[in-house]
Amino acid sequence: MAQPTVVAASPRATRLPAAVRRRQLLDTALTVFSDRSYHAVSMDEVAEAAGVTKPVLYQHFGSKRALYLELLSDVGAQLGEALAKATAQAASPHEQVERGFRAYFRFVQDHEAAFRLLFSGGARRDPEFRHAARRVEDGLAQVVASLIDADIDDDHRHQLAYGVVGLAEATSRHWLSRPAGRTDPEVLAKRMAQLAWAGLRGVSRD
């Protein structure tokens, strides 16, 4: 007796829980947007890449702009969570600095498309996207500021935190610009931690 042929269900036919589907759409959108600019990508392309119909995509995100803004926020939240988790496991302030840089550079290595999306020039040219990226930087600076144990006022502490965040971002940009012979992220983290720690140890009131 002939066995029935089993036909695999296509992604379009698969019904996923809303949260799972939303996560899938964000992951797919990240890949699509990281390859080209925001204006060069259409919602049709995102839907096609995700294996869903455009109405399904619009059920989760009311517009391409809404999708892109949530994507920026999502990437920032992942990076912030990685930093907070890594530094919480440290046994000393010095270790917090090194763990923080290590988590940052590992994120850049493992999620290069996400980093480029968040800190690319394209995201900064649009005022609304620039504001979203700035909120991410604010969140990262808040994490760093909470770790600076010095007898200084809050404004001073936050200025130093933004400096540390800027150091990590600028170093990552340079690191990504050199695909050949890149420094190991572990080594890079140690070097930047030495620089930051040497400065933070000398911090005092004005």
Residue that is written with structure tokens 């930087």 in the block: 137
Is 206 in a helix, a strand, or coil? coil
Answer whether 203's CB lies under 8 Å from 150's CB.
yes
The b-or-e profile of 41-78 (16+ CB within 10 A means b, else e) is beeebbbbebebeeebbeebbeebeebbbbbbbbbbee
DSSP state, residue 6: P
Task: Give every CB contact of residue 145 below 8 A, 6+ residues apart in sequence.
Answer: 154, 157, 158, 160, 161
In single-letter form, the type of residue at position 18 comes to A
pLDDT in tens, 86-132: 999 999 999 999 999 999 999 999 999 999 888 876 667 789 999 99
pLDDT value at residue 203: 87
At 121 the pLDDT is: 64
Q: Which domains does the chain have, with CATH numbers?
A: 13-62 (1.10.10.60), 68-201 (1.10.357.10)
Residues 144-159: tens digit of each pLDDT: 999 998 899 999 999 9
CA angle at residue 107 from 21 to 68, to 5 degrees?
Answer: 45
* 113 Cβ neighbours under 8 A, 6+ residues apart: 30, 31, 34
25 by Cβ neighbours in 10 Å (0-12 / 13-18 / 19+) ranks as: buried
Interacting residues of 79 by C-beta distance below 8 A, sequence separation 6+: 104, 107, 114, 115, 118, 136, 140
pLDDT of residue 24: 95
Residue 158 is predicted with a pLDDT of: 96
SS3 178: coil
Mean pLDDT of the chain, nearest integer: 89
CB 93 within 8 A of CB 149: yes
At residue 181, the pLDDT reads 82
pLDDT of residue 3: 43
Q: Which amino acid would we find at residue 20?
A: V
What's the rounded Cα separation, in Å, for the pair 3 and 192? 63
Poorest-pLDDT segment among 31-45, 48-62, 71-85, 186-200: 31-45
DSSP state of 39: G
